[in-house]
A = this chain, B = another copy of it.
């Protein structure tokens, strides 16, 4: 399944992962298994769940030796491309502060941000 996510190079839903495994890799998985394996992969920081789209994406630091920082995702509203980035500490700090000001405590530094990627921005501009 990790292979499927890495090879596809994009965010897949659980059922898309299943199809990929079945069609490309020859593994026949039931939904329940997919979710169980995804849970394991998430716990081990190999895969991230995108809450806004209910999809899953291979962590872009799988092969890195260093620690896994909670990621931020830029998600293109138009082509659904996902970029995993590490925003400057400053950003996280200001969000944390603002959250605390409202009396809440930040639970996760993962952010999912609605964007347009460079390509789609250009396309939009020329078509408009």
Spell out A's residues near B (CB within 8 Å).
Answer: 51-52, 72, 74, 76-77, 83, 85, 87-88, 90-91, 94-95, 98-99, 102-108, 110-118, 121
Contact = CB atoms under 8 A, between A and B. Distances in A.
10 contacts: A51-B112, A88-B94, A99-B115, A103-B118, A104-B115, A104-B117, A105-B117, A105-B118, A105-B121, A112-B112
A114 B107 contact: yes
A106 B99 contact: no
Contact of A99 (B108, B110, B113): B113
Chain A: interface secondary structure?
mixed
B95 A91 contact: yes
A72 B106 CA distance: 13
Contacts of A90: 94
Given A90-B94, A95-B113, A104-B117, 13 more contacts: A51-B51, A51-B112, A74-B99, A77-B108, A83-B102, A85-B102, A87-B95, A88-B94, A105-B117, A105-B118, A107-B114, A107-B115, A111-B113
A116 B95 contact: no
Contacts of A114: 106-108, 110
Contacts of A74: 99, 102, 104
